[in-house]
Structure formats: structure tokens, C-alpha cells
Amino acid sequence: MPLLFLKFPDFDPVLIALGPFQIRWYALAYICGILIGWLYSRALIRNERLWGGPAPLTVLDFDDFVLWVTLGIILGGRTGYVLFYNPSHFLQHPLEALQLWKGGMSFHGGFAGCVVAVVLFARHRGIPFLSLGDLTCATATIGLFLGRIANFINGELWGRPTDVPWAMVFPGGGPLPRHPSQLYEATLEGLVLGLALWLLMRGGALKRPGFVIGAFAVGYSIARIICEFFREPDPQLGFIWGGLTMGMLLSVPLMLTGIGFIAVALKRPPLRA
């Protein structure tokens, strides 16, 4: 054990409690992520320079899409967690799958839910689903950043034991100091990936539909795999094969899919060519 380590701040996971009604930091992160992402997307749609002309969808289109993608995130994220991370438990307690306030969301499941929402809404509205997907992925990093910060406030999904000077003893993580891996993920999956996507869009990525989707999938997969080396595996799963975790394994097909999207986007002529 290191001689010096940081004490985990004594956060209350409940931000506001009014009788039986509670607002938790985790729920606030979702709400703020969707709200800020919606405003960011509206700004991107209005910026014709990024598209080489008028965007292939309108601000009103995205306004109506917000509800669809919110349902996709919640339903997909919860379904992914149930199927990928704890199927035996929920098979014995099926009603707990509906208790979202107890936590348990899968990014890869949420991503799949977003894909379904994008495809269905694009067909319903008659707009290009690749461009809608590009916008969705460009703004997803905001929610990822806020979600990982909420994980840190909740004192969950902590890292592996370590002796680095910034190690922390988490209330539910035993006596050993651990990596604050939630902050690593917030930095790589949220800030670094968000900045990279913004630079790509300034360089013309939105003119090639599907490119931002691919870049997001590849960038997230790399960031997640790196962070998994510092994050404690889920106790009910542990290390699955050769030191690999479920997060690593799920990121491999996502990365390959992203590479495919990038390859196809680069072969097609850009918008307004």
C-alpha cells in the first residue's frame, strides 16, 4: 500500500431528495448530456461550412429525434447490461431489469439502441441515416464524459489496486487504494474523443456521411480498451479469457465496424461534390 493516497470525496449519490422523489447525479448526467448534445447538434446543423452547404437534415428534424434517441439509449443500455453483464441474475429476478434507478447500463447496448433509433427515425422522416448517425456520434462524447463523472461521484466502477500517488480508497472497493478509472474514461472517451471528432468535422468529415460514425466507433473502442487495463472487471464476470474483460471483447467488433464505415465513407464522393 502506498504511503500517500487520496481520500475519496464523500459524495451523496442523491442530489435532491423531496420526500419519495429523488434526483440522482447519474440521472442528472443523462439529462444534461442529452440537453447539451441537443444544443450542440443544432449548432452543427446550422454551420453550413461543415457540410459544404445546407445540412441534409433540419434543426426541426433533430428536435423530433431527441425523444427517439433518448429511448434508444435507455432501452438499449439497460438491455445490453442485462444480456452482457449479468444475465443469470436477471433471469432469476426479471423485474429488477426494470429498476433503472439501481444502476447498470452498458455502453455497447446503448450504442446499439442508438443505431436502431437512427435507422427508424431516418426512414420515418426520409432523411439520410448516415448523416443523422454522424450527428448523434459527434454529440455522444458529451454524455460519455458526464456519465463517467457520475460514476465517480457514485463511487462505482472503480479501478484496479495501484500505488500511484493519485490512487483512491473507494467506499465499496475495500481497503486498497485504486485507480480512479472513471476519470480516465471521462478524459479519453469524453474529452479527447470529443475534441478529435470536432477537429475531424472542421476538416470536412461531415461531408462524407458515415465517417464520423466510424471515427467514433474506432476512437471509443481504443479508449475503452486502454481504460479496461486500469478498471476492475465486473465481479460477476471477472477476466473472461486470457486477461481480457467483457468491455474489451465488446469493443473489438465495434472497432472493426467503425473501420468499415470509414472505408466506405472515403470511397464515396463527398456531399456537394
Q: How far is CA 245 from CA 137, 224, 231, 248, 250, in A?
A: 24, 11, 10, 5, 9
Sign of CA dihedral 109, 245, 148, 138: negative
- Please check whether residue 19 lies inside any domain of the structure: no
- Domain membership of residue 9 (yes or no) is no
> Model pTM?
0.87
53: left (phi over 0), alpha (psi -120 to 50) or beta: left
Nearest to 190 by CA among 227, 138, 145: 145
Residue 8 domain flag: no
Distance, CA of 200 to CA of 107 (rounded, Å): 23
pLDDT digits (tens, 9 = 90+) for 151-203: 898 888 889 999 998 999 998 888 899 999 999 999 999 999 999 999 999 99
pLDDT 10s digits, 233-247: 877 777 887 788 988
**What's phi and psi for 203, nearest 5 deg?**
-85, 5
Give the residue among 144, 148, 147, 250 at the shortest CA–CA distance from 197: 144
**Segments forming the whole domain that contains residue 73:** 26-267
Distance separating alpha carbons of residues 236 and 99, to the nearest angstrom? 19
Q: Looking at the domain assignment, is residue 78 inside a domain?
A: yes
> Does the pLDDT value for residue 97 go beyond 70?
no
User: How far separated are the first and last CA of the chain, in Å rounded?
Assistant: 61
Kindly state whether residue 72 falls inside one of the protein's structural domains: yes
Question: Strands, DSSP E only, in the chain?
Answer: 6-7, 14-18, 21-24, 168-169
Q: Band of the pLDDT at 3, cuts 50, 70, 90?
A: very low
Within a domain: 155? yes
Residue 158 has a CB neighbour count (10 Å cut-off) of 24
The pLDDT of residue 234 is: 79
Which pLDDT value is given to residue 101? Answer: 56
- The pLDDT-based confidence of 1 (bands split at 50, 70, 90) is very low
pLDDT of amino acid 273: 46
Q: Taking each helix axis from N to C terminus, what angle separates 107-125 and 59-84, rounded to the nearest 10 degrees?
A: 140
Residue 64 located in a structural domain: yes
Coil, helix or strand at residue 106:
coil
Best CA proximity match to 89, nearest among 248, 241, 237? 237
Domain count, the chain: 1
Q: Are 119 and 2 in contact (CB under 8 A)?
A: no
Asked if 111 contacts 136 with a C-beta cutoff of 8 angstroms, the reply is: no
Evaluate whether residue 14 is within a structural domain.
Answer: no
